[in-house]
Amino acid sequence: MQGASVTIEDLACRRGDRLLFRGLSQRLGPGEALHVTGSNGIGKSSLLRIVAGLAPAFAGTVQTGGAIGLIDERHALDHALPLGRALAFWRVLDRAEDSAVERLGLAPLLDVPVRYLSTGQKKRAALARLIGENAAIWLLDEPLNGLDSDAAALTEALVAEHCAGGGIALIASHQPFTLARKRTLALGEFAA
Amino acid sequence: MSGRLLPLLKRDMARLLLGGRGGGAVMPVLFFLTVAMLYPFAVGPDARLLARTGGGVIWIAALLAAILPLDRLVEPDIEGGQFDQWALRGMSEEIVIAVRVLAHWLSFGPPLMLAALPAAALLGIDEPTLRTVELGLLAGTPGLAALGVTVAALTAGLRGGAALGGLLVIPLAVPVLIFGAGSLGSGGDSGLALAAAASLVLLAIAPFAGGAAVRSARS
């Protein structure tokens, strides 16, 4: 994860006819975390999708160094499959060794079809996929939604470990996110 | 890269063959056989008429059966976020769609070719005609699979997308149908060759059209 970087320069984002934010510049190096805050609809998710390269920037540039892992409200696990097999598909794609299934408390759920899992359980499964992906840059869209307090604390600990290992985390959340060394970006200040 | 295509193909095959709620590959085959079974009831028991028109009915049934799984081909993976995750791993939409075409064909092409044997018996089709039908299906069904995946990608996320998809597939499948079913009348290889050519065109377009459609569905 050496040399991970995210450089955002003079970024503007448009959804439909509305300009959501503009003039956003940020630079993140190894081990740094950025907590993007702001009210609903201000463009937090859009910012993450632009950084991920999944949505076009209206103006400005984003440069990333390192593989990108994304967690958003869509967990990308096949509904019909048992959780173990749904995760195994991604583990094979990512050639993952450790996916922290035990640590995330997913071991008893591996035989349960994904469609029977709760929101929080699916979120934890998505975290397991993210850890297996071994990406340098984590983009987390509302990572604490639906998690109980234990799982939320575990998520915060996992992000802290990721950053301690030289990774970058971009967290978009309107909820407080406890992390020792993080910067906070209030996206509202850049609203157009 | 190639190490990722095989797991993807396996996963797509499992989804399309076994298919959970959609019934997988069994439904199109049963539908196909039902049409072949209904046809003699509708036109009467005239054996010569059945034998003469049976090949065409098999083609119509194959085309309609190919439409059945349309709504499961692409949309669930856009809704579920799988395409986003693949893109982040450097797997382009074009590659994923190409694999999907192969998986879709494997899940309905060969089963339909097998089901054409009992269907031919039901319709009283003779052996040379059956051979032409089977070869025609072999040439034509890959094109139908490519067309199905392309249209499924184009209509993903639209309201009534499945019904619209069916309506779009039918006219675009006409060339394959004309040449495939036409080879029965002439009994010639030229019809088969042209069906295969129409199939190849659809196969060549599918990854690019489908991939662009998936990307544009993101915004």
Q: What is the ipTM of this complex?
A: 0.92
Q: Convert the pLDDT of each residue in A159-192 to its tens digit.
A: 999 999 999 999 999 888 888 888 888 888 888 7
Chain B's closest residue to A73, CA to CA, is: B81
Residues contacting residue B214 through CB under 8 Å, at least 6 positions apart: B74, B78, B83, B93, B96, B97, B153, B156
Chain B CB contacts of A56 below 8 Å: 219
- Counting one residue from chain A and one from chain B, the pairs whose CB atoms sit within 8 A come to 54
Residue B68 identity: L
The model's confidence at residue B113, banded by pLDDT at 50, 70 and 90, is very high
CA angle A118, A141, A46 (to 5 degrees): 130
Contact present, A93 and A135 (Cβ < 8 Å): no
First CA to last CA across chain A, in angstroms? 35
Q: Convert the pLDDT of each residue in A97-139 to its tens digit.
A: 776 888 888 999 999 999 999 999 999 999 999 998 889 999 9
Give the pLDDT of residue B196. Answer: 93
Q: Which domains does chain A have, with CATH numbers?
A: 1-67+135-192 (3.40.50.300), 78-134 (no CATH)
Give the pLDDT of residue A112. Answer: 94
Report the run of H or E that residue A25 belongs to, with start and end. strand A18-28
Chain A's closest residue to B10, CA to CA, is: A89
Task: Give me the residue label for tokens 């992000």.
Answer: A159
Contact present, B28 and B119 (Cβ < 8 Å): no
Give the pLDDT of residue A1. Answer: 62
Give the pLDDT of residue B23. Answer: 66
Give the pLDDT of residue B205. Answer: 96
Which strands form A137-141's sheet, in the order they lie side by side?
A68-71, A137-141, A168-172, A33-37, A183-186
Give the pLDDT of residue B217. Answer: 87
Report the run of H or E that residue A141 belongs to, with start and end. strand A137-141
Residue B42 identity: A
Give the pLDDT of residue B44. Answer: 87
Query: Is residue B67 over pLDDT 90?
Result: no
**8 Å CB contact of A68 and B88:** yes
Q: Which of A76, A77, A80 sits opposite B20 (nearest CB)?
A: A80
Q: What is the mean pLDDT of residues B204-214?
A: 96
Probe site for chain A from B4, B88, B219 (most A CB atoms < 10 A):
B88
**8 Å CB contact of B11 and A78:** yes
Closest CA to A50 of A33, A34, A70: A70
Contact present, A71 and A143 (Cβ < 8 Å): yes
Chain A CB contacts of B76 below 8 Å: 79
Range of lowest pLDDT (A24-28, A140-144, B17-21, B41-45): B17-21
